[in-house]
Amino acid sequence: MTLIILLAIASGMALSAQAAINGQLGEKVGVIESALLTFSMGTVITGLLIFFFEPSYESTLLTVPKWQLAGALFGIVYMIVMVAAVPKVGVAIATVATILGQMIMSLVIDTQGWLGNAPIVLNYWRIAAMVCIACALLCIYLANAQTQTRLDTPVTTEDSTQTRLEPQHVS
């Protein structure tokens, strides 16, 4: 179990790096083109992994319940929103906001036993975890707002009576 948690943490780190890279790419070539590149590369790599490593299963993509194929659509929404959001709000806010959304929905799915999952009781620890993530989002947002306010404040230099604005960077 520890190994799978560590792998999940590593995949989360990869998603943040991907969001930063795709955000920059999306500003240069467009949000949709950046998402297309990601999904095209993913298709090629996944196809190779299936061909060389995937064992055979009783079901195929053509025989599973069609609602299970809808999960692929959510990946598209995630990718496009992240590519568009990162340049505007930064990687940290976009990522933590995504994690908060994941927590809210995952707790509903767990508690209700939706989508074929076994129900898991909602308890104080799970609620506390969601509150902590919401607090993290608020703290990062306030830190960015404070930094932005400081950067927008005119600074007077000793040699000049003109004011200048510091360069802006939101992350």
Spans of all domains in the chain = 17-56+68-89, 90-153
Rounded Cα distance between 20 and 22, Å, is 6
Q: Comparing 69-83, 130-144, 149-163, which segment has the lowest mean pLDDT?
A: 149-163
pLDDT at 162 over 60: no
What is the rounded average pLDDT of the residues 10-24? Answer: 90
For the stretch 28-76, pLDDT in tens is: 999 999 999 999 999 999 999 999 999 999 999 899 998 888 888 888 9
Rounded Cα distance between 113 and 107, Å, is 10
Smallest Cα–Cα separation from 80: which of 11, 148, 33?
33
pLDDT at 153 over 90: no
pLDDT at 164 over 60: no
User: What pTM was computed for the model?
Assistant: 0.75
Mean pLDDT of the chain: 88
Q: Taking a C-beta distance cutoff of 8 angstroms, is the pair 107, 70 a contact?
A: no
Residue type for position 31: V
